[in-house]
A and B are shown apart, each in its own frame.
Chain A
Amino acid sequence: MYRIAFDIGGTFTDFVMQDTRDGSTAYWKVPTSSGSPDRAVIAAMAETLSNGRASRDDIAELLHATTVATNAVLERDGARIALITTRGFRDIVLMGRQKRPDTNDMNLEKQKPVVERCDIFELTERIDAGGAIITPLAVDELDALVSTIERGDFSAVAVMFMHSYANSAHELEVGKRLRRDLPGIPVSLSCEVTPKYREYERVTTTTVNAYVQPIVDAYLGRLESAFASQGIGCDLKIMQSNGGLVSPAVARAYPVRIVESGPAAGVLMCAQVARDEGVDHVLTFDMGGTTAKLGAIDYGEPIIVPTFEVDTIRFRKGSGLPLNITAIELLEIGSGGGSIAEVSMGLIKVGPSSASAIPGPICYAKGGKRPTITDADVALGYLDPDFFNGGAMRLDIEAARAGIAEHIGRRLGLSGTEAAWGIYSVANSNLEGAMRVVSVERGRDPRQHVMIAFGGSGPLRAARLARSMGVPKVLVPHGAGVGSAIGLLAADQKLDSSLTRLIPIEKGAESAIQEVFAGLEERLRLELEQVSPHGSPVVWKRSCSMRYRGQGYEIRVDLPDCVIDEGFMTAAREAFERAYSAQYGYTDAGASMDGVDWHLTALVPRSKVPSWREESRTETDRTVRSRSAYFPEAGGFLETPVYRRNALCSDQTIPGPALIEDRESTTIVLPGDVASVSRNGHLILTINQKKN
């Protein structure tokens, strides 16, 4: 039997097919069909069936990571939605938190919400912070509202009332009425999507859910019917931002949970590689065409954070739309191969603006005029102009060099090579800053971590980044270019649910905590029915976002899955103190603590399959070529050996300087470092930690 995973990116759609009998995998890429991304998938599946790779009855599972929800938000081409909210609070979703993205730029506009003011409707009702009803729901206003929405051109409705996390009665009543009277229109209630406090964040999450719902629904419908017409009867599973797979039914009900689908899968791939290699603590480094994403794995598990921000302005924290969804922790910055370099005030600035795929870097020769990171990479000899994307595209190295000399070198009085090296170095320093946030600032010692680098641009600079951070070892997984698709194979099915309830972590609160977890479990059991067959084994995980009493920001800590008694309280307090101390360097001994957001996760482990491994090597050409590449620590341009990755054997060690190429990426081995191939086919760079 086979499991087929597919991840749709901006340029390519990646496929991975795994044989469940021995774990062997094959991967391939097809160009993404812009506009309707499902077309390329459907065509590729048809081809897979017709060329005999697999027969329709052999396909056990289809696993999918998708950017369809993200793109709808980024491009604001989601559905026209109506928002119903408490009288007096129509403008909450428009105002946001009102802070300018940049103190010193008064012309930079804040991010646009996904609903227009004329589509926001108010109902008379009010509940207070304790859940008490101050003003009952004006049921008599509902008739008029329902017919207004019916007459309007709305594809979905969102409902958010004040303090509905404390008492959801009014939202539920309105929801029931809308679902009865407007059966074709999906309804997102904030108490179902995210029963957590802070009204702007809750209403934004709920409106984004409604906004992407019709698009996700139609998209999944097209996929399902196409697979059905091809006679593929197996389950389709969708990746959520938290790294868990769910059924299309859950993805349709809570599409906001799948906005960070692909990147989450990439981190799961790293977790699988870490397991293969027996590594516990990992820093993940994924660098593609427009951005870099950095994450971490502690004790073998990717870190899950309770919020995610989509559509940030210049990658500034707090400038995007905040979503209350669990997501794999990733820091995204505007550094990718297409990031543009420019001179400002005698300095080199790289990113966040990007040449994207069109016009692209100068070396693509598709009209790009401004030098990018990729142009510097090719000018420095790191990329083979004739073997880019496996030779599918030729790069114009002379144009790249000329562009760098003109836009950077001449203006700073640097030679062309110095200017290219400047772009490379400044880009690395931006990455180092981000990596520092993910590691040191969050209590992770880089010296105790292994870096896993992937994406088209990651392996080109992983060694330098590791060196500057003191990371002793870098892994470049095979199939690094289709990392997200591979990650899907390693995913479990996972559901989670959270609730805001302020409860002191002390004796006497046991029953309140029990009640919260019982409520969350009941909710998850309902969703589980839509995800996996009855009786599947379920692993429950509890956690809580806690803080010292009086603080405003919480740290999420895991709680034991045991009886909630005095021992439970002690464990919770200790877990919080450990986490607080790791993050801030001290604890407030004796201070009271409160639990604020309570989380429960239900995990249905995937059926045991052998760990994925590489298909037998196709590359027979073992010739070691060479080309001139720039290593300033060794005196400048050196004639550097170039290896084909697929031709390497696991007993081989390669001293730097060297370049190791496969179709998707090139790995740089620095002078003083050594590369080798692990038993599992992953490339290992051992970093000599002597600073240059």
Chain B
Amino acid sequence: MNAITKNKVDPVTLTVIWNKLISITEDMGAALRRTAYSEAVREGDDFSTGLFDRRGRLVAQGNFTPGHLGAMPYVVEHLLARFPEHTLRDGDMICTNDSFIGGSHFPDFFMMMPVFSDGCIVGYVVTSAHHIDVGGAQPGSQAVQGVTESYQEGLRVLPVRIASEHKLNADILTVILGNVRHPDKMQGDLRAQQNANYVGGKRLAELFREVGFAQMDVFIEAILNASEARARELIAALPDGTYSFDDRLDDYGPGTEPVLVCVDVTIRDDEATVDFSRSSDQVPAGLNCYINYTRAYAMFTMRIIAGFDMPQNAGTSRVVHTIAREGSFFNARFPAASGGRASVQMRMFDAINGAMAKAVPEKVRGACTHWCNPNIGSNHKSRSKWLMYDLIVGGFGGRAGHDGQEGIAAVMNSANIPIEVHEANCPVLVRRLEYMADSGGAGEFRGGCAVRKDVEVRDYGVVTLLGDRHKFAPYGLEGGDPGVLSTTVLIRDGVETELASKAVMDVEPGDILSFRLSGAGGYGNPNKRARDRIEADIRNGYVTPAFAREKYGAWEN
């Protein structure tokens, strides 16, 4: 390795080390995915990985879901407060799924492992994964309706030493697995997390040995400083001011009031503050966000809008501050229920995006398709034990110069689960998965189309719905139209019944659950839409001729 002068690090070596740190987190992710058991992790990529320095500062993260990634630094802070450095030994792993300390709902398990080199802790590797069931009222542990406090949402594991000497503690495992509906998958996924930590820890220790303990400190400092400086530069490029936006979630269960989502984003010099305090109070349903989750998506959204081009780490976190009134929907107090909080991530993005539209209209997009995250699983009448965890995602809103993309994961960057995989493992038959014509908001650059997925169940069971935008459409910007509203429909004996977006209900063999997402918002005045775009949309069936005439009338003349 090249020499380092006192205050200045050699840019070549810095590049090399930074790349290595990031590649370790990617390798951890590969190990996790390939040894996992649940469809959520192995097919859906619903997990994340990170590296922290010995002071608990985030140094590098993998290319995974922002919700986990953004919460991770705060989780580590809590875990180290309970298990300070001097109490940790080589091969220990500390684990929690607490909603306040952790990722804001019980299914997310975080596992942290100290990394030793020459008898000292040089850093920490961390994985998080969404476990498909942690017990509680309903299969999948994400019910919104019928849940008022987190004790109904399943097993809560406050920080414990789940492994010593690289072996999972059998007693703790027995307690955990005795409380969940699919212990085989849970155990497999916990082992996959342990395995990923092991892989990452080994490589981090090697890197420290190779580079040297003191020198790594200097490089990490340089990485954080360079990231912070770049983040400040990009935030400073946004015009100063306070920008506000108000939106609403449908409700917090059938028959309840809408939840206000109100944000004020303040840009001052080179720092940003995202404040959700004006939003509703926390609600008696499984939908609340704990502050770690709010921080995660506020950070992510500001990163996208400001155009952060450096990897996420503690340096960038110094520049974006997230606040929300304690006891409000976005900074819930324990034991607020939060199982279905994943449904809110999209709305946090849309709200901040809407606020920033007033500052930098060229950097934002129409509201995205709201996704849905249903769990359909067995109940007391079922012939077998099963759980279908699904991720149904739509498209992006239009933005300056570009139509919204169709069919791509919006905020949380997970993959879909193949139909043939679901059908091989669960008593379901998917009847269709397709884009819906005329659903994207019209605009000079139109919003992405809605997606429809019809799932027929072939056994008795219970479904917990987790959708939104049944009442308040995804907005358009700069004169673009909103996308169409979402509906969730039960088709029983050929009769269609509309369901509330966050209902819990029993299903019978032959029932079809039809998930029809909202379309994404358009951008810019529809009258300015280019003729070839309109024609291509008609040719490809994204838009019908009748809709085109109604929205883009001028084009035919």
Contacts and interface: CB of A to CB of B under 8 A. Distances in A.
State yes or no: do A and B come from one complex: yes
Interface of A: 87-92, 94-100, 102-104, 106-107, 109-110, 116-118, 126, 128-129, 134, 162-163, 197-200, 316, 318, 344-349, 412, 414, 418, 421-422, 425-426, 429-430, 433, 436-437, 441, 502, 548, 550-553, 583-586, 588
Contact of B15 (A107, A426, A436): A426
Given A98-B415, A414-B11, A584-B35, A426 B420 contact: no
Contact of A552 (B195, B304, B421): B421
Given A117-B540, A346-B226, A129 B195 contact: no
A516 to B, nearest CB: 17
Contact of B304 (A96, A104, A550): A104
Interface stretch (B133-141, B241-249, B402-410, B490-498): B402-410
The 10 closest A-B pairs by CB, nearest first: A88-B432, A552-B42, A117-B540, A95-B407, A99-B415, A429-B16, A422-B12, A97-B415, A103-B413, A129-B423
Interface string B1-30: 000000000011011101110010001001
B15 A552 contact: no
Interface size on B, as a range, is 35 or more
Nearest to B14: A347
Interface string B458-500: 0000000000000000000000000000000000000000000
Contact of B185 (A109, A198, A348, A550): A550
Contact of A349 (B15, B42, B409): B15
A89 to B, nearest CB: 6
Contacts of A316: 63
A550 B184 contact: yes
12 contacts: A88-B430, A98-B393, A99-B413, A103-B413, A129-B424, A163-B420, A163-B423, A412-B11, A429-B16, A433-B20, A441-B27, A550-B185
Contacts of A126: 429
Contacts of A418: 12
Contact of A100 (B39, B303, B413): B413
Contact of A345 (B19, B42, B226, B419): B226
Contacts of A109: 405
A586 B33 CA distance: 15
A348 B23 contact: no
B2 to A, nearest CB: 8
Contacts of B191: 588
B16 A426 contact: yes
B97 interface: no
Given A98-B407, A103-B64, A129-B424, A89 B33 contact: no
Contact of B421 (A118, A198, A422): A198
A551 B541 contact: no
Nearest to A411: B11
B309 interface: yes
Contacts of B416: 95, 97-98
Contacts of A588: 191
Interface in B175-197: 184-185, 188, 191, 195
Nearest to B406: A94
Contacts of A552: 36-37, 39, 42-43, 421
B45 interface: yes
Contacts of B36: 551-552
Contacts of B546: none
Nearest to B310: A345
Nearest to A90: B434
Given A198-B420, A346-B14, A553-B42, 9 more contacts: A91-B407, A100-B409, A103-B69, A126-B429, A346-B226, A430-B19, A550-B184, A551-B34, A553-B34
A551 B415 contact: no
Contacts of A91: 407, 433-435
Contacts of A92: 419, 433
A347 B18 CA distance: 10
B52 interface: no
A431 B19 CA distance: 11
Given A128-B429, A134-B429, A422 B407 contact: no
Interface in B384-406: 393, 396, 399, 402, 405-406
Interface of B: 11-12, 14-16, 18-20, 23, 27, 30-31, 33-37, 39, 42-43, 45, 63-66, 69, 184-185, 188, 191, 195, 198-199, 226-227, 229-230, 300, 303-304, 308-310, 312, 365, 393, 396, 399, 402, 405-409, 413-416, 418-421, 423-424, 429-435, 451, 454, 539-542
A118 B540 contact: yes
Nearest to B61: A103
Given A162-B420, A429-B16, A551-B36, A103 B434 contact: no
B310 A586 contact: no
Nearest to A347: B15
A345 B304 contact: no
A88 B411 CA distance: 26
B33 A100 contact: no
Contact of B312 (A94, A104, A429): A104
A686 B191 CA distance: 42
Contacts of A551: 34-37, 42, 188
A96 B407 contact: yes
Contacts of B540: 116-118
B424 A88 contact: no
Nearest to B426: A129
B424 A118 contact: no
Given A89-B432, A198-B418, A421 B12 contact: yes
B38 to A, nearest CB: 8
B168 to A, nearest CB: 11
Nearest to B9: A346
Nearest to B26: A317
B418 A199 contact: yes
B12 A348 contact: yes
A60 to B, nearest CB: 45
Given A199-B418, A347-B11, A88 B434 contact: yes
A502 B424 contact: yes
A548 to B, nearest CB: 8
B42 A88 contact: no
